[in-house]
Amino acid sequence: MSETFPVTVAVTRSDGSVENVRVGTATKNGDGFALSLGDLRIEGRADAAAPRRAAPAAAPRASGGGDGMVFPPYGRSKGMPIVGGSMQDLEFYANGCRRTLGDPGKARWHDKERVLLAAIEAEMSRQGGGGGGDMPDDGHIPPPSDDDAPF
């Protein structure tokens, strides 16, 4: 069975909110990926407020754990779905999010990290692990750096 991942685009609305809009699916294909996009269309001007047809995907469901979100591209579970992740992995990535959110020099990633942390904490709650506390850094795994950012 091949691995598939959702492909989303972050859209900034005129009110400043960010909505992650799913535009397709990436399927693991050998050493790369095959990208399958849905019908794409651009309506109106870029700064015109587009009508909302669905609730924003950026806010993870409290009961779900991320609606197809995956772990960031570092650590042993990089790119794997958040839903079903081990409690150890959930804690590790949650702490990475908290470190990034606590660093004013990484402010450009804070919106994305808040969404990721909410999805991780929702999965922790779903699994019965709470998800609010900080786990001390044991020094064995380096914290994420600017080089780990997906941009």
Q: Which domain holds residue 100?
A: 59-151
Q: Are residues 30 and 104 in the same domain?
A: no
Residue 51 lies in a domain: no
- The mean pLDDT of 74-98, rounded to a whole number, is 90
End-to-end CA distance of the chain: 29
- pLDDT digits 0-9 by tens, 22-73: 888 888 888 888 888 877 776 655 554 545 454 444 443 434 444 678 888 8
Q: Where are the alpha helices (DSSP H) in the chain?
A: 87-101, 110-126
Q: 92, exposed or middle or buried, with CB in 10 Å at 0-12, 13-18, 19+?
A: buried
Residue 48 lies in a domain: no
pLDDT given at position 147: 66
Residue 46 lies in a domain: no
Q: Are residues 106 and 146 in the same domain?
A: yes
Q: Are residues 34 and 90 in the same domain?
A: no
Q: Are residues 8 and 69 in the same domain?
A: no
Residue 147 lies in a domain: yes
Q: Are residues 76 and 113 in the same domain?
A: yes
Q: Are residues 28 and 94 in the same domain?
A: no
Distance CA 119, CA 82 (A): 8
Give the chain's domain count. 2
Residue 99 lies in a domain: yes
pLDDT given at position 109: 87
pLDDT band at 145 (very low <50, low <70, confident <90, very high): low
Q: Are residues 34 and 65 in the same domain?
A: no
Q: Are residues 12 and 70 in the same domain?
A: no
Single-letter amino acid, residue 64 = G
Q: Are residues 116 and 148 in the same domain?
A: yes
Q: Are residues 78 and 131 in the same domain?
A: yes
Q: 57, exposed or middle or buried, with CB in 10 Å at 0-12, 13-18, 19+?
A: buried
Bridge partner list, 70 = 81
Contacts of 77 (CB under 8 A, 6+ apart): 71, 85, 86, 89, 93
